Structure 1
Amino acid sequence: MMDTLHEWLSQLLAWVESLGYWGIIIGLAIEVIPSEIVLGYAGYLVYQDIISFPVAVICGTIGAILQQWLLYAIGRYGGRPFLDKFGKYLHLKAKHIDLAEKWFEKYGPMIVFTGRFVPVMRQAVSIPAGMARMNLWQFTWLTALASVPWSILFVWLGFSLGDKWESVADEAAPLIRWILIAALGLLVVYFLVQYLRKRGKSI
């Protein structure tokens, strides 16, 4: 079975390579393959001088935004009834959507940024943003702000690892922890500023 999965993955990556930059965008937009693998492979293509590093990062960011726009639209126009019926086909479990809704209600739009660095929340958080009819431009800006460092990290790792790019997820794990800590730190600062503003207005 592992050989079959590896062959299937190889075929998908060959398809990504054949499309070049469009392969990165489409691969991330539909995310049949995890974004870490698509971006890591893009870094490997940079290593082979097939594509350029900056454009690979830009395409990775565009692909990520397109995917989140789709999920945002599902939340906004389909809502919970659509997700309860078709969520399983999108690999979105009800418990993850419930958690994303609670986070969005508690932390507001800023969770769209910080949630990108949490594996379970990365896709799910766009759903409640759409259901809450969050401003699309604000949603896009926060999504892009989080997608850029994510794309840079994995393209750079794929490039640095070269022929060993397949170990990109293992190499990224300790770095992602630090990114998550930094994102959570920003969330704390954001709420502290909001709290001080409200307190200042009430005085």
Structure 2
Amino acid sequence: MSWFHDLVNTLLQWIEGLGYFGILIGLAIEVIPSEIVLGYAGYLVYQGEITYLGAVLFGTLGAIVQQWILYGIGRGAGRPFFEKYGKFIKIKPKHLDLADQWFKRYGDGIVFTARFVPVMRQVISIPAGIAKMPFWRFTMLTGLASIPWVLLFVYLGRTLGENWEDIGAKAAPYVQPAILIAIAVLIVYVLYTVLKRKGKSI
């Protein structure tokens, strides 16, 4: 897929040219995976073109803006929009079903815990928007959940330096345990929610 490689290189050059705002926009629209954008941001830190703190700040803002977009579409257009166009951003009806079930069953706190679960970290914003979850609570939970991901990949990109493109292999030992911990936290949250609901019904 040489065309994809060329596209990635073009977008990364564009991000480099825009600096911090390139990171923000690159994450907000996510034409290429966020870990590549953040890894490249780390490489720019390594080169001394931007600061680590700035990369983390704008990376977190970009991650939040991306979720604002999904939240806003969910709130304004509802589920039919994603059923029709979701395939273009790799969101399937089964993902929507699961996210909707989680949100309705466990409340808006799931917006934080689901961020650490692959696929669900994107899709959970949609039912939050449809349910008109308070915007600032949505933003706070999304931001708090985005920070660890941004910190990790910017750090790895900076550490790898010229070899930043190997970030996928380098990140695996960190990401896999993080996912397991996140799933454990998710289970604890779900149990807490269920027990709390049962306590109220007694």
User: What TM-score, normalized to structure 1?
Assistant: 0.91
Q: How far did 1:108 drift? A: 2.2
Alpha-carbon distance in structure 2 between the residues aligned to 1:43 and 1:143: 22
Alpha-carbon distance in structure 2 between the residues aligned to 1:8 and 1:77: 31
Q: 2:118 is aligned with what amino acid?
A: P
Any unmatched runs of 5+ in structure 2?
A: none
Q: Say whether 1:6 aligns with 2:5.
A: yes
* Pairs within 5 Å for 1:1-203: 2-194=1-193
Alpha-carbon distance in structure 2 between the residues aligned to 1:196 and 1:124: 26
Number of residue equivalences: 202
Q: How far did 1:200 drift? A: 6.3
Q: How far did 1:193 drift? A: 4.5
Per-residue Cα deviation, 1:108-158 (whole angstroms, up to 9, x for no partner): 222211221222112111001111111111111110011100000000010
Q: 1:10 to 1:135 in 2, by over 3 A?
A: same
Percentage identity across paired residues of the two chains: 58
Any unmatched runs of 5+ in structure 1?
A: none
Q: 1:69 is aligned with what amino acid?
A: W
Q: How far did 1:49 drift? A: 0.6
Q: 1:22 to 1:98 in 2, by over 3 A?
A: same
Check conservation: 1:42, 1:56, Cα contact below 8 A: yes
Structural RMSD (CA): 1.9
Query: Per the alignment, in what secondary structure is the counterpart of residue 45 of structure 2?
Result: helix
Check conservation: 1:72, 1:129, Cα contact below 8 A: yes
User: What TM-score, normalized to structure 2?
Assistant: 0.91
Q: 1:108 to 1:199 in 2, by over 3 A?
A: closer
Alpha-carbon distance in structure 1 between the residues aligned to 2:179 and 2:110: 12
94-103 or 127-136, which deviates more: 94-103
